[in-house]
């Protein structure tokens, strides 16, 4: 099939860090034998404005001969919604949503009429809304296996890599004191200095640090014996998500020490393929336990790898999604 992947390329607008969805929505599709083009709606809107971005998108879809268009939604419109509807006359447009646990009612459900199909990664959202929105589909984040190295020497005992801000920054500082956690990514420098995250810190890259490129993120996972895996939504610490990193680091050989999130057991078995913790003290204790019991750690890390390889690659996600929407 011919596929148009409509996703941002720069991670949070960064010129050095690549948005994971750009790679995940191109390379795995090509590995399945599809022909894939890319349309960066974020960069196009920034360069030409909302209206012209929509015009360019419609022209691309009209003239491209695509069998399907995959479209990243992210909490703000990248082009007029009517442009999405117009482009849908020439190919089915499939929206892929993020953070529906807190923005479904305020934002993404209002986009449903403009797309042929809309994908959520939240079973609760799907179950509650599939009757009212028959074009809603359930899928999940997946593992992009280009940078994984299961056999890499594990020279980091207990680590976290990602954006370290808000509640997560306080968690990392606590686990650094209690269990020697090493943090990497934007905001990690503040953790190492023992300083709290503050409003405006991200505008001081010399202090907070820039986003890490995806290969460097994967390098941290490849080197980590145990990976701290928080699940709170950035908007509300009481909302637990299934984060993309749950699958993204699955082939790295790390042990996922994970805040247990609703529905996680649909994908991995606790105690066999990951280790769940109840609170930060429990997290610190379990990190210490598994670092002292390397045979058990290796067993769980291997099972995590094998389940990810068998069921949770992006190739699995796209194959099932295309079947679900009749392609």
pLDDT interval class at 202 (50, 70, 90): low
- For the stretch 157-173, pLDDT in tens is 999 999 888 889 999 99
The topology (CATH level 3) of 156-311 is Rossmann fold (3.40.50)
* pLDDT at 262 > cutoff 80: no
Strand-by-strand arrangement of the 93-96 sheet: 35-39, 2-6, 68-72, 93-96, 117-120, 136-138
Give SS3 for 133.
coil
* pLDDT at 255 > cutoff 90: yes
Q: Residue 272: what pLDDT?
A: 97
Q: How many CA atoms lie within 13 A of 299 on its CB side?
A: 9
210 contact partners, CB below 8 Å, separation of at least 6 = 14, 16, 17, 186
What is the C-alpha separation between 211 and 188, in angstroms, rounded? Answer: 10
CB 125 within 8 A of CB 101: yes
Q: Residue 239: what pLDDT?
A: 79
* pLDDT at 207 > cutoff 80: no
DSSP code of residue 275: E
Q: How many CB atoms lie within 10 A of CB 312?
A: 22
Give SS3 for 135.
coil
pLDDT interval class at 278 (50, 70, 90): very high
Q: Report the share of the chain in percent with pLDDT over 90.
A: 77
Query: Could you state, in order of their start, the residue ranges of all structural domains in the chain?
Result: 2-142+313-324, 156-311
Q: How many CB atoms lie within 10 A of CB 151?
A: 7
* pLDDT at 233 > cutoff 70: yes
Q: Which of 171, 207, 164, 211 is nearest to 188 (CA)?
A: 164
pLDDT interval class at 10 (50, 70, 90): confident
- For the stretch 70-89, pLDDT in tens is 999 988 899 999 999 999 99
Coarse DSSP helix, strand, coil percentages of the chain, rounded to the nearest 5 percent: 45, 20, 35
Q: Residue 191: what pLDDT?
A: 84
Q: What is the largest CA-CA distance in the chain?
A: 60
Q: How many CB atoms lie within 10 A of CB 284?
A: 21
If you write DSSP's letter for every residue of 212-270 in order, what string do you get? Answer: PPHHHHHHHHHHEEEEEE--EETTEEEEE---THHHHTTTTT-EEEEE--TTGGGT--B
What is the C-alpha separation between 324 and 119, in angstroms, rounded? Answer: 11
H-helix or E-strand spanning residue 176: helix 166-179
pLDDT interval class at 258 (50, 70, 90): very high
CATH number of 2-142+313-324: 3.40.50.2000
Q: Residue 16: what pLDDT?
A: 64
What is the C-alpha separation between 160 and 149, in angstroms, rounded? Answer: 17
Q: Residue 242: what pLDDT?
A: 87
Q: At residue 169, what are phi and psi to the nearest 5 degrees? A: -65, -40
- For the stretch 12-65, pLDDT in tens is 666 666 888 999 999 999 999 999 999 999 999 999 999 999 999 999 999 999
The residue behind tokens 């930060």 is 280
């Amino acid at each position: 099939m011919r596929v148009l992947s409509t996703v941002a390329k720069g991670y949070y607008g960064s010129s050095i860090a690549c948005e994971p969805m750009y790679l995940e929505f191109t390379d795995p599709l090509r590995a399945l034998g599809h022909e894939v083009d890319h349309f960066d709606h974020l960069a196009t809107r920034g360069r030409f404005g909302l209206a012209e971005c929509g015009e360019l998108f419609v022209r691309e879809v009209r003239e491209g001969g695509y069998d399907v268009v995959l479209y990243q939604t992210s909490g703000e419109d990248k082009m007029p919604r009517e442009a999405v509807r117009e482009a849908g006359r020439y190919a089915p447009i499939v929206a892929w949503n993020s953070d529906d646990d807190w923005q479904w009612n305020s934002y993404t459900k209002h986009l449903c009429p403009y797309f042929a199909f809309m994908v959520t990664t939240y079973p609760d959202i799907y179950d509650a809304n599939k009757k009212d929105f028959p074009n809603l589909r359930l899928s999940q984040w997946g593992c992009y296996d280009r940078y994984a190295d299961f056999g890499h020497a594990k020279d980091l005992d207990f680590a976290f890599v990602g954006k370290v801000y808000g509640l997560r920054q306080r968690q990392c500082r606590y686990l650094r004191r209690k269990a020697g956690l090493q943090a990497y990514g934007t905001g990690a420098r503040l953790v190492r200095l023992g300083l709290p995250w503050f409003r405006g810190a991200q505008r001081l890259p010399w202090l907070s640090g820039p986003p890490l490129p995806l290969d460097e993120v994967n390098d941290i996972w490849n080197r980590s014996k145990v990976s701290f895996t928080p699940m709170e939504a950035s908007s509300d610490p009481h909302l637990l998500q299934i984060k993309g990193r749950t699958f993204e680091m699955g082939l790295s050989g790390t042990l996922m020490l994970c805040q247990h999130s609703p529905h996680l057991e649909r994908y991995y078995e606790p105690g066999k393929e990951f280790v769940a913790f109840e609170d930060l003290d429990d997290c610190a204790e379990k990190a210490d336990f598994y670092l002292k019991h390397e045979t058990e750690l290796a067993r769980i890390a291997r099972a995590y790898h094998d389940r990810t390889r068998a069921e949770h690659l992006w190739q699995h996600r796209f194959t099932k999604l295309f079947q679900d929407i009749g392609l």
